[in-house]
Amino acid sequence: MAVLFAFTVPGYALKKLKMLGEGSTLALSNILLYVCQPALAIKAFCVFSESDAETIYGIGMGRLAANFGIAAAISVAAIFLVFGISKLVFIKMKNKNAANVYSFVAVFSNCGFLGVPFIEMFTDGNPLAVMYIMVFNIVFSFLSWTLGVVLITGSFKEIRLKKLVLNPAIIACAVAILLFFVPQINIFAIKQIDVIKILPQYLSYMTAPLSMLIVGIRIAETPLKQIFCKKGAYAAGALRLLVAPFVTLAAAIPFYFLLLHMRGTIGGADDYIFLAPVIAMVMSPAASVVAMAERFNGDKEEATAAFVANTVISVIVIPLVIMAIMACWGALVG
């Protein structure tokens, strides 16, 4: 995470040196939201090695679909539970725009930029664990472009069925799922033209650096006092880093025992059906909060302050919370 945060330096330096114009942040935000994030979904569901494909498809389509459904249900339940808690916490806050941004921070984690590489490291690259956390990312994409946009803008005006259907992130998720469940039409799996894999791969690799460059630019535009001296940002961070993971764990437990009752046994990578959403919700605030605030003219200062302050704190908090989560999980299902 320290290395990831270092990507803010070029954006900060370029802005301080006045080498970036006024529209540069919006342009970068549009590339991140409409190009790089969609590529991340395509890469996760459509681009994998032959050995990983054998492991994944060896489970069977029906079982995979059921597992994905459970992971999605846990993800939806967790996000809405945290949303409800955050609205109660910030209900008396006078600055409604700031309160909405703080709720966004509490609800939406950095599940794509940090969650995916983290679970790859955590599970030694287990492809099924990565697939389950990407199910969370699909739920995240849909809800961030609906519930998230409402939180940033404070209204439903930006939510239109046509806009939602034509949103590149939503289209990419739909295409990725289609190609995954119908591998015969997955062009990225055709050996003769597998060079096209580099398109979603390289674009997805840009996601984390680009998001942090945008944050660096916003830091350069905002006095440090405004970043680290906002009490609401720390309240949002407590919800994001401490409350959200355990709420997600609580949401996952009933599904675990339901599946155990139905199948009689749960083993192998099946634990990650339940743990992947929890790990996704342990991550620091979504970097897209800054891009979203830029794109939809939300409270950019509050978004930057909450994201930066809690990303710094998360370097220490995340490992401790992960250990606590795993200890609780072992005690509950062991």
pLDDT in tens, 277-309: 999 999 989 878 888 888 888 888 888 888 888
Picking from 32-36, 88-92, 162-166, which range would have the lowest pLDDT averaged per residue? 162-166
Percent of the residues in the chain that have a pLDDT greater than 90, as a whole number: 31
Q: Which domain holds residue 81?
A: 2-333
pLDDT at residue 334, as a whole number: 66
pLDDT at residue 87, as a whole number: 92
Residue 1 or residue 73, greater confidence: 73
pLDDT at residue 239, as a whole number: 96
Number of domains making up the chain: 1
Count Cα atoms within 13 angstroms, Cβ side, for 89.
27
Q: How confident is the model at residue 1 (pLDDT cuts 50, 70, 90)?
A: low
137, 286 contact by CB (below 8 A) = no
Q: What type of residue sits at position 92?
A: K
Picking from 7-16, 104-113, 286-295, which range would have the lowest pLDDT averaged per residue? 286-295
**How far is Cα 67 from Cα 118, in angstroms, rounded to an integer?**
21
Whose tokens are 């984690």? That residue is 109
Helices (H) and strands (E) in the chain, counts: 20, 0
User: Is residue 158's pLDDT more than 80?
Assistant: no
Q: Indicate which CATH number applies to the domain containing 324.
A: 1.20.1530
Task: Give ∠ CA 183-184-190 in degrees, rounded to 5.
Answer: 90
**How far is Cα 142 from Cα 167, in angstroms, rounded to an integer?**
10
**How far is Cα 154 from Cα 84, in angstroms, rounded to an integer?**
16
Predicted confidence (pLDDT) per residue in 24-83, tens digit: 888 888 888 889 888 888 888 888 877 878 878 888 888 889 999 999 999 999 999 999
